[in-house]
Amino acid sequence: MNPKYAPLFAALTLPTSPSAAGTLGALELRNRLVMAPMTNFSSNEDGSVTDTELAYYARRSGGVGMVITACANVTAGGQGFPGEIGVDRDDLVPSLNRLARAIQGEGAAAVLQIFHGGRMCPPELVNGDVVSASAVPAERPGSAVPREMTAAEVQDTVTAFGDATRRAIEAGYDGVEIHGANGYLLQQFFSPHSNRRTDRWGGDVQGRMAFPLAVVEAVQAAVRAHATRPFVVGYRFSPEEPETPGISMPDTLALIDALAETGLDYLHVSLMDYRSLPRTGDVTRPRLDALVARLNGRVPLIGVGSVWSADDALAVLDSGAVLVALGRSLVVEPDWAQKVEAGQEQHLRTELTPDEQALLVVPDPLWNAILNAPGWFPVARTEAAEAKVTERA
């Protein structure tokens, strides 16, 4: 290994404070590299995982320290994608266990991301009953006007996150990540764009964070009640929204202050590029740097966003993040961690070709999405590769 990259392979325990580990102890991670949660559209219609999905995760779990799965819906009415993992029913625990074992069998910790899609749910997946904090549609073409959730439904959803956590514990996971990012339900409650409520679940920035904080409390209560070994709880958030009104950096700094007080084991920022600058607040320093400075070591932060090279990953750690997540780069290069650890960082793959699905062990739904979404992944469309794809079609 190039000694320069040794920090990427330093072991880590979560929680990072020995006094916070409590009676369950700490989760040991072999390095600072994380597989980012990425939707793959590949589960069965009933929410159970498929064999191709298991193979996809196992192929990418051999070098990283922790794998965060694609989001799993905590209620039947919270399904945000076709082919989504389900954690809304007890009968899914054996299926969830298969996925946890596939990841852990390669040496990585397995963390299940749990969520509710809210107004982002396709109506056809939720029997036409799209719900949100308020009856405000998303600003994208064809968005459904959601139904405002009743106070009882909000509380039931909080309870559902706790129930999902219990199922994750029973299924053998090492933790859960609460998905409060990317425009889904928890973010909808925090956002002034989607939350126009006047009850205890809305209002000013403190009122709008009531639902996310209640979910954190329910999840942590489930851990205390059911976990018998180390089990971590993380929270993912998007720092800003483009809408007006929308979440601003000052809003998010207030949110992470509140989250830091809850005893979460880590926070995970959602960024397209770790170098990106804010739209609001101090626009002269990268979002990642501002978040690290505000947290000031209170909670470990996972940095992410266009991390392709070993130097990118090192830059994320150098910013003060404790862990670095690999998303698209781990799809393109399943052996990313192994190559860098072996001193072969110059041989990291940075693009794929349309005929490499079997080589990269990617399920059909995700592969088709990659090829049909220009600009999402770096795809080299060589004549030979296109000819093979045409032959298979």
Q: Sketch the domain layout of the chain as residue ranges.
A: 3-350, 353-393
Mean pLDDT, rounded, for 285-304: 98
- Residue 391: per-residue pLDDT: 52
Q: Is the pLDDT of residue 310 over 80?
A: yes
Exposed, middle or buried, 9 (CB in 10 Å: 0-12/13-18/19+)? Answer: middle
Q: Is the pLDDT of residue 393 over 80?
A: no
Q: Is the pLDDT of residue 385 over 70?
A: no
Banded model confidence at residue 392, pLDDT cuts 50, 70, 90: very low
Mean pLDDT, rounded, for 205-214: 98
Tell if the pTM clears 0.85, that is, is over it: yes
Q: Is the pLDDT of residue 112 over 50?
A: yes
- Residue 22: per-residue pLDDT: 80
- Residue 87: per-residue pLDDT: 98
- Residue 16: per-residue pLDDT: 83
How far apart, in whole angstroms, are the C-alpha atoms of residue 173 and residue 165? 9
Banded model confidence at residue 386, pLDDT cuts 50, 70, 90: low
pLDDT tens digits, 350-361: 999 999 999 999
Decide: 63 and 52 in contact? Cβ < 8 Å. no
3-state secondary structure of 247: coil
Architecture of domain 3-350: Alpha-Beta Barrel (3.20)
- Residue 129: per-residue pLDDT: 98
pLDDT tens digits, 211-262: 999 999 999 999 999 999 999 999 999 999 999 999 999 999 999 999 999 9
3-state secondary structure of 177: strand
- Phi/psi for 272 (5° steps) reads -75, -25
Q: Is the pLDDT of residue 387 over 90?
A: no
Mean pLDDT, rounded, for 11-19: 88
| H helix or E strand, kind and range, residue 235 | strand 232-237
pLDDT tens digits, 143-191: 999 999 999 999 999 999 999 999 999 999 999 999 999 999 999 999 9
Q: Residue type for 314, please?
A: L
Q: What tokens appear for 108 in the block?
A: 């990585």
Mean pLDDT, rounded, for 113-131: 98
Mean pLDDT, rounded, for 321-337: 98
Q: Where do we find the tokens 């899914």?
A: 92
- Residue 39: per-residue pLDDT: 95
Cα-based distances in Å from 333 to 9, 258, 309, 356, 381:
18, 37, 11, 11, 17
Q: What tokens appear for 191 in the block?
A: 């956002």
Banded model confidence at residue 6, pLDDT cuts 50, 70, 90: very high
CA 358 to chain centre: 25
Residue with more model confidence, 17 or 240: 240
Query: Nearest Cα to 57, choosing from 373, 331, 368, 351?
Result: 331
How far apart, in whole angstroms, are the C-alpha atoms of residue 372 and residue 139? 23
pLDDT tens digits, 163-173: 999 999 999 99
